[in-house]
Structure 1
Amino acid sequence: MRCHHLSPRGTFRRHQLVLACALALGAGTAQAQQATTTQNTPDPTNLDAVQVTGIRAAIESAVATKNESTSIVEAISAEDIGKLPDVSIADSISRLPGIATQRVDGRSQVVQIRGMSEQFVGTTLNGREQVSTGESRGVEFDQYPAELINAVTVYKTADAAVVGQGLSGTVDLQTIRPLSLGERRIVITGNGEKNSLGDLSPDGDDKGYRASASYVDQFADDTIGIALGVARLNSPFQEKHYKEWWWANTDVWGQSQPGKPADAIALQGQEAWVKSRDLTRDGVMGAFEFKPNEHFHSILDVYWSKFQQDEVMHGAMWTNDAYWTGMNGQPAGYENIGLTERNGFPIITSGTQTGVQPLVRNDNNTREDKLFSAGWTNTISFEPWTVSLDLNYSRAERRQSQLETYAGLADPQDVGFQVPISAGYGNYSLADLSDPNSVYLWDVQNYGHDGRLENSWQKDEIKAGRLQFTYDVDTAIVRSFDVGANINRRSKDKRSDVYFATLRNGATLVDPSLLMSPTSLGFVGMGDILTFNPRALLDQYYDVAISESNDDLRKDYVVDEDVNTYYVRANIDMDLTDRIRVRGNAGMQYISTDQSSTGFNANGGAITGSQTLGARYNDALPSLNLVFDFGDGWNVRFGAAKQMMRAPINYLSADSSAAVSQTTSLWEGSGGNPTLEPYRANAVDLSLEKYMGQASYASVALFYKDLDTYIYRQTIPWDFTGYDPDGETPISNIGTFSTWANGTGGYMRGVEAAVTLTGDLFSEALDGFGVQLNGSYTESSIDPDPNDNTPGTDTIPGLSKVVANATLFYEKYGWGARISQRYRDPYRGEYSSLFGQRQYRNTLSERSVDLQLSYEFPETSALKGLSLMFQVNNLTNEAFRTEVSESTNSTGLFLPEEYTEYGRQYLLGFSYRL
């Protein structure tokens, strides 16, 4: 934490407040350290070491970082991270004003800032742009253990010297600098973990553990520093899942069903399953620091993590839509129905589905992600010049395998049902789906195969170098100038193979020796289902052969980006009047981008050619940040900038499915668009802040972004020169192509408010108590799907109009307690869908509550250094809920889609500091 003040000559000086640090797992009773300088300024030469501990110390550090920054930022420190019951750094970040996370598989995964999806968020580690294990730019923060991150700064305004910025904001993760700690520190932590849902399936587990250790030391008269941290997470995630596929009045399309009243809206398919995930994450952080004198400073830091997930799923599903017929050739129908009216429309909510064919699914999905990041910075200072050179490398790899198998009864079934038209579980009465003498392996739903296997691999890699010159000046307005260049080379490569499994001897009963105990779907009334390990059955019962559709073939692509960033920045510090001090920065980035992609053209289930396409463009991005300090803790901040964000990487894929129409002799196709230009916006921010004491503040901020362009799917003219016409003769090489394209933009605007108060501000009797509250309201005029009139599609992905957080805490005499609640309004989320595709889904509001209780033994105790903790994540077992519009788009109704519970995570553990 740096404390800025005026010298007698009014120039800007920098100091550091050094806090204690421990890289402790989730329990985080270790001491915080906030010694990281920003990536934009040289290290300070004047260090004043002051050790403070506890939650209040962490809050003081975060408040000071916000106060002293020349940009509008939010911050958290290592102690703040450690004192919260967080699985990953994403949970900690989501408690900051205007920031929300999206839950995937029951855990916070991606960060969304100011109502914009993760695709608009820039992420850096120690100031260096990071790769992603996902398909695009959005970093999956559950890859980063909270215990290995020392501090986080979220930039909400643009800064000319921040490289890799996002359009909505930039998250900078920071690791420890060992020389700043000033003493040896060893911390060991351990936690046991249990999921409240218990063992949902015979091959699942509801118990796990977390452990970490860290070592920080200094040598050779504090000229050499070393920091090492390791963390391991073995966490059980459980899931009770129910989904209503889609709702429709199929009479509108001329498809009636036996027993269905005319124009009644009916559910067209359903599924329920339990999942057990064994999640293992190993993380290692290392830093080597060398500072032999005031002129030279060298830091080498390395981060590595491996994330492994083994997921088993056991469930049942079936379709009962008007277009499906069973093996007997008869369509599904209804008997003894019950209707519920909503907004004047009749909806079938109970009765009996006739002639359906329930499918028993036994799936196994494995995933392994590896992250590696390394950076080496060398800084030479001879007043008034400072020169720094940073070389860095970042790599992410993902290997994934998804296997699904099908089984069921031989004959069509009648199923009694009661389905809700508000979020919740349905109830179904099924025949016994666990009888090993009646449930066969076979293609129950007429998919055309008896099982499906998809293996995929992707690699994302960044090689970058940055050179910066800083020149200190002594004027009444400017204290220094920064001039720099960052050269960045990024490549993302994805491969996928799809196989179909075919039973060698047709419909087959499973050998009882290969069966497990049945899995219960009693939470939806479906009873028990046949359960087995699908991978154990592959060799014994199936022939597996590659079989890929056009969409499968198009999953293979390579995207390359060369991005050169040149910048200049003037750092401002002046006395505007006797009472008003102004500090900040003004600068310009010039970014040159050269992007290209190689992908395949797929037609008729075969590759008919490949193509490499791309684009070049340049952007000049001015920015201004000013802080008006009126004294007595009052600040007014103003920011203005032109911003850009490159398109999601998967949008840039050169994949396509194109052919010459036999009817019109014209080219038609669809796919990715490597010629996309970025999102571009003009942004203005204004913030009023009041700081009270060292750990309390209140702020109100307004922001406005005017996006010149937005990217959405369109049908545009396309030059098909070089494409194989596959025996057809086109009239012209110009045809039509459905793809991502730049289109009309709009505004994003909102207001944010935050307050942090400690009880001692009001009364000594309240010393130790505190509260942190924040909330934001955001709205947008952007229509991301202007050609789609489906209800709910006119909302920008990731936009929750209201996001709020509340934390109450107490810490005194060694006792600690903290309860936190996160809330976000309904939003349109983007998720992985069928066969790895991306899908937008209307996600309902979420209210997540976490609790932590702790006790730290005093220094006078024989157990000094030991802390004990009890934590509960998702205290209220908040369900994940989505809804879907009625499919004819004529009613305006939204009806339930998914309702999934993940249970509570209980943790009991310790932290010991030497």
Structure 2
Amino acid sequence: MPMRVSSSAFFVHAASSPNLRAPRRHRLVLACLAAIACPVVAYAQDAPQQEEPLPATATQQPTELDAVRVTGIRGAIANSVETKSESTSIVEAISAEDIGKLPDISIADSIARLPGLTSQRLDGRGQVVHIRGFSEQFAGTLLNGREQVTTGDNRGVELDQYPSELINGVTVYKTPDASLIGQGISGTVDLQSIRPLAFGERRIVFSGQGEYNSLGNITDGGEDTGYRVSASYVDQFANDTVGFAIGVARMTSPFQEQHYKSWWWANTDLWGTPQGAKPADAIALQGAEGWVKSRDTTRDGVMAVLEFKPNDTWHSVLDVYASRFDQEEWMRGTMWTNDPWWNEGAATYTDAQTTLYHGVPVVTSGTLSGIEPVVRNDNNTRESRLFSAGWNNEFRFGEIYTLTADASYSRAKVEDSKLETYAGRLDGLDVDFRVPLSAGYGYYALPDQSDPATVYLRDPQGWGHDGRLEDSHQKDELKAFKLALNRLVESSDFLRSYDVGVHYGKRTKEKSAEVYFADLPGRAPALVDPALLRNPTDLGFAGMGRVLTFDPRDLLSRYYDVYLSESNDDLQKDAITEEKIKTFYFKANLDMDLPGDVRLRGNAGVQYIRTDQSSTGVVVEQNDDGQVLTAGTAGASYGDILPSLNLVADFGNGWNLRLGAAREIMRPRINDMGARASVWVNVHDGVGEWRGSGGNPELEPYRANAYDLSVEKYFGTTSYVALALFYKDLDSYIYTREVPWDFSGYDYEGETPPASNIGIFSAPANGTGGYMRGVEFSTALGGELLHEALDGFGLLLNASYTESSIDPDGPDIGSGTDTFPGLSKIVGNATLYYEKHGFSARVSQRFRDPYRGEYGSIFGQRTYRYTTHERVIDLQLGYDFPESSRLSGLSLLLQVNNLNNEPFRTEVSDSHDMHIFFPEEYTEYGRQYLIGFRYAL
């Protein structure tokens, strides 16, 4: 029987306007049902009168509803749809199905399923998120609305530092408003913890999962099993004036990796250096590597919230998050170069066979003679400590004014230690090989390299040392304070309230490193004591046989002389960068009725940001001898005015039209701002030339004008369809520029001194940009919309197309073929789910087009690599015991991540500007199985 249902205290997400009026009558049921979605409890109240008369059967008195909790997949979707619908900005959202139960075990994976977003895998797991074709460096990341520091080496936040069990929801702002602090050009990710008073009742939750990697234990010292455990407690006290929530989570997770990489491809005949019997003018691979990695990750996290609301005047929330993330990695493998310049052309081809590839002959099989592979035994450790705290106090003065004071502190500390050691046979090897021209492992019939009687500690590749150790240290600290005033306007038909505020933040990032070389006494080859050896590591997946295996740290003090390296490359890593940011803003919150029964709401405002930045390290100074590098401090000061507009036209029947326009900035990469520099001499054809490179502490931000348009149609509580367009005009972009430079004042002790003091210095610089534009389609559909037999089924689907005119190498020197870092033209996500009678099933697929990814490289440097398309499938099965069962509150869960064992693949261009791309890296991470339980009281 139809009835009039009324509800109060419906939950308006943090993304919503602070002064929204009650929803229209035809959307009442949507608001009520979404409001009670987990983890929010809604309480009933009388509803406004409907505008149209009800049938006679519906003239009874309003019915009071008891508190109802909707959990599970559909409850989370309903909450997310409500957030998207009620927000004045264009946003995407995810919500926990219940306390500590986000849809994925990784926050990055959950966020990456949202429209226009995708993740970049690192070491087999989603670590950072790309929004609308931009890399993670262009996104802002907040925790409970506060900007966060990062354990990474720049600004992009590594989301794997935050346990999904402790995050209750995520909102991604695609359009900013004037009160949003810490926003990025691509978007802003706001992670949210629970609010215990809003939750409304006591809840205790325990969960545990066992984990297994399908590749097994691939090298000694690693693990292929792990576990995850968590516990959460939420309660209210003192007549619901005090709320407390705490959650703890521990993860020990194994990550395995089987890796093959082609180093570089070239036709060396064009440079007058033939390679033995290699067919004339054929392109050949000039080096390769194969290895396995076993990585053990342990993360402990705790999040606590204390909430106090003694009356309607004062509301105080203190939240704290801390995590400890430890990782130990073992890498064992082999690698070599066979280019004609190594060891005076010792490596040659015999019986080389070619295959036409894009019309060019390429050597794909034969025998390599005279190569001397190096056997690598590396051990890398990483210790990350993250702490974030915020205290928010809200004071209401009557019905008109609300004053908010928010203080926050965020700190990240990272200690990295990377040790690599080398070994190899004393003789050159003749190796039969097959090289693939499509993605896959190569094959090299290497002889056994695990024999302790024939494999010596030595430097087979002539790198100038027998081992290398780098210890790096990083500290990122952010102190901030925000004061904001909201004033309700009752006399206006369109201006409902306005906000004014000021925010001050001081961020300091310190980076330093010590690099040590390890040499054998007299640099004489040495055999390893068999008592120190581990089980050999098998590289059979690439036909490379077994390699000698040991713990390199056990050998370091027994076999090597270790000494500090003070090269230019090592010294320039030390820098301290500081930013002082003052933000002043005004925002008008709009809400009005237009002719034609259209409701218009939104906001218009402006930010003024004043930035003072500096960096201490190696800087360029002018003296009587010219421009020289010296220890010092340099920086810049500048201001930005950022207007913004967000409008939502509600046409009724679930139709919304959204418009966004804003001026946006993203501060430069911290590495680019660092006061660092180095100088060297390039020698070509017997002529030396001065060269130098460094950072630029005077860099100004990336700046853009952004425009967004979105059309949305909502059906019920869990269904909608949306189509969005966006255009970003970047009028400022940062490129690496090469400029003539006077190197007078530098001493050179080499054999080939430069003929001139004028050389080339490269450093980041501001330049003109271009556009980034795209279209996004998204939908959430409940099966009951199609047919009652499909009740319980549902589909989440989104796809986006993005393109850019920006050449990241610069408008004057760019190749025209390089793509914007992080840009996949096509990104898509699909999730099919079923949830009924306690049983739930979900299968999800993430797809992204090829893109130019940014990765860590040798010696801590950053590099761009052409990453091919990815299609990752995840599976989740669960069962919740009913309330009538003695096991009520218990849930069982099975998850399989990377169900299709999708490899990571990159490509590399040829060395002759022919724009032919060859396979580079092929890495498999295996499937990740998790089985466990969750129990709620």
1:267-315 alpha-carbon deviations (Å, 9 max, x no partner): 0000000110001111100000000000000000000111111000110
Matched, 1:678 2:688: no
Which residue of structure 2 aligns with residue 340 of structure 1? Answer: 355
1:492-548 alpha-carbon deviations (Å, 9 max, x no partner): 000001000011262111101000111100101111111111100111111110113
| CA separation of 1:151 and 1:205: change in aligned 2, threshold 3 A | same
- Contact 1:34-1:151 at 8 Å conserved across structures: no
Matched, 1:692 2:715: yes
Which residue of structure 2 aligns with residue 266 of structure 1? Answer: 284
- Contact 2:197-2:241 at 8 Å conserved across structures: yes
CA distance in 2, matches of 1:275, 1:545: 27
Q: What is the TM-score when the length of structure 2 is the normalising length?
A: 0.91
The alignment partner of 1:331 has SS state of coil
CA distance in 2, matches of 1:515, 1:730: 49
Which runs of structure 2 are paired with 1:524-539 in the superposition (5 Å)? 524-539=542-557
Which residue of structure 2 aligns with residue 799 of structure 1? Answer: 823
Identity %: 63
Query: After the TM superposition, which of the residue ranges 94-103 and 496-505 deviates more from structure 2?
Result: 496-505
| CA separation of 1:483 and 1:815: change in aligned 2, threshold 3 A | same
What residue identity is the alignment partner of 2:788? E
CA distance in 2, matches of 1:602, 1:443: 37
Shift of residue 18 of structure 1?
8.8
The alignment partner of 1:56 has SS state of helix
- Contact 1:212-1:230 at 8 Å conserved across structures: yes
| CA separation of 1:881 and 1:666: change in aligned 2, threshold 3 A | closer
Which residue of structure 1 aligns with residue 734 of structure 2? Answer: 711
What residue identity is the alignment partner of 1:32? P
Which residue of structure 2 aligns with residue 406 of structure 1? Answer: 422
CA distance in 1, matches of 2:712, 2:576: 46
CA distance in 2, matches of 1:621, 1:731: 50
Residue 824 (structure 1) aligned to one of 848, 858, 861: 848
Which residue of structure 2 aligns with residue 32 of structure 1? Answer: 39
Residue 563 (structure 1) aligned to one of 581, 589, 606: 581
What residue identity is the alignment partner of 2:638? Y
Which runs of structure 2 are paired with 1:176-325 in the superposition (5 Å)? 176-325=194-343
- Contact 1:81-1:89 at 8 Å conserved across structures: no
Shift of residue 250 of structure 1?
1.1
CA distance in 1, matches of 2:935, 2:755: 76
CA distance in 1, matches of 2:415, 2:79: 39
The alignment partner of 2:555 has SS state of helix
Which residue of structure 2 aligns with residue 609 of structure 1? Answer: 630
What is the RMSD of the two structures over their aligned residues, measured on CA atoms? 2.8
Which runs of structure 2 are paired with 1:803-814 in the superposition (5 Å)? 803-814=827-838
CA distance in 1, matches of 2:526, 2:759: 49
Which runs of structure 2 are paired with 1:43-82 in the superposition (5 Å)? 50-79=68-97
Which residue of structure 2 aligns with residue 433 of structure 1? Answer: 449
Shift of residue 609 of structure 1?
2.5
Which residue of structure 2 aligns with residue 581 of structure 1? Answer: 599
Shift of residue 257 of structure 1?
1.1
The alignment partner of 2:818 has SS state of coil
| CA separation of 1:330 and 1:75: change in aligned 2, threshold 3 A | closer
Residue 677 (structure 2) aligned to one of 640, 644, 656: 656
Shift of residue 202 of structure 1?
2.1
The alignment partner of 2:439 has SS state of coil
Shift of residue 669 of structure 1?
3.1
Which residue of structure 2 aligns with residue 781 of structure 1? Answer: 805
The alignment partner of 1:537 has SS state of helix
Shift of residue 759 of structure 1?
1.1
- Contact 1:154-1:171 at 8 Å conserved across structures: yes
The alignment partner of 1:709 has SS state of strand
Which residue of structure 2 aligns with residue 876 of structure 1? Answer: 900
Which runs of structure 2 are paired with 1:98-137 in the superposition (5 Å)? 98-137=116-155
Matched, 1:493 2:510: yes
- Contact 2:34-2:79 at 8 Å conserved across structures: no
- Count of residues in Structure 1 that have an aligned counterpart in Structure 2: 884
Residue 444 (structure 1) aligned to one of 454, 460, 477: 460
Which residue of structure 1 aligns with residue 52 of structure 2? Answer: none
What residue identity is the alignment partner of 2:237? F
Which residue of structure 2 aligns with residue 504 of structure 1? Answer: 521
CA distance in 2, matches of 1:611, 1:733: 23
CA distance in 1, matches of 2:773, 2:70: 39
- Contact 2:619-2:631 at 8 Å conserved across structures: yes
The alignment partner of 1:340 has SS state of strand
The alignment partner of 1:188 has SS state of strand
CA distance in 1, matches of 2:863, 2:76: 39
Residue 433 (structure 2) aligned to one of 393, 412, 417: 417
- Contact 1:192-1:209 at 8 Å conserved across structures: yes
| CA separation of 1:351 and 1:719: change in aligned 2, threshold 3 A | closer
The alignment partner of 1:508 has SS state of coil
Shift of residue 790 of structure 1?
8.0
What residue identity is the alignment partner of 1:743? G
The alignment partner of 1:876 has SS state of coil
| CA separation of 1:791 and 1:691: change in aligned 2, threshold 3 A | same
Residue 635 (structure 1) aligned to one of 651, 656, 667: 656
CA distance in 1, matches of 2:771, 2:292: 42
| CA separation of 1:564 and 1:755: change in aligned 2, threshold 3 A | same
1:886-910 alpha-carbon deviations (Å, 9 max, x no partner): 0121x22100000000000001100
Shift of residue 732 of structure 1?
13
CA distance in 1, matches of 2:841, 2:210: 19
Which residue of structure 2 aligns with residue 27 of structure 1? Answer: none
Which residue of structure 2 aligns with residue 484 of structure 1? Answer: 501
| CA separation of 1:808 and 1:707: change in aligned 2, threshold 3 A | same
Matched, 1:854 2:864: no
Matched, 1:395 2:411: yes
- Contact 1:608-1:724 at 8 Å conserved across structures: no
Matched, 1:768 2:769: no
Which residue of structure 1 aligns with residue 61 of structure 2? Answer: none
What residue identity is the alignment partner of 1:875? L
- Contact 1:554-1:601 at 8 Å conserved across structures: no
CA distance in 2, matches of 1:665, 1:888: 24
What residue identity is the alignment partner of 2:12? R
Shift of residue 794 of structure 1?
2.4
Which residue of structure 1 aligns with residue 382 of structure 2? Answer: 367
Which residue of structure 2 aligns with residue 751 of structure 1? Answer: 775
- Contact 1:241-1:900 at 8 Å conserved across structures: yes
The alignment partner of 1:286 has SS state of strand
Shift of residue 336 of structure 1?
1.1
- Contact 1:881-1:900 at 8 Å conserved across structures: yes
What residue identity is the alignment partner of 1:864? S
Matched, 1:624 2:640: no
Residue 88 (structure 1) aligned to one of 86, 106, 116: 106
- Contact 1:2-1:17 at 8 Å conserved across structures: no
**Which runs of 5 or more structure 2 residues have no equivalent in the other structure?**
1-10, 14-18, 43-64, 622-627
Shift of residue 668 of structure 1?
6.0
CA distance in 2, matches of 1:245, 1:55: 46
CA distance in 2, matches of 1:651, 1:859: 57
**Which runs of 5 or more structure 1 residues have no equivalent in the other structure?**
22-30, 36-46
| CA separation of 1:906 and 1:832: change in aligned 2, threshold 3 A | same
1:539-560 alpha-carbon deviations (Å, 9 max, x no partner): 1111110113211110000100
Shift of residue 84 of structure 1?
6.1
CA distance in 2, matches of 1:552, 1:661: 18
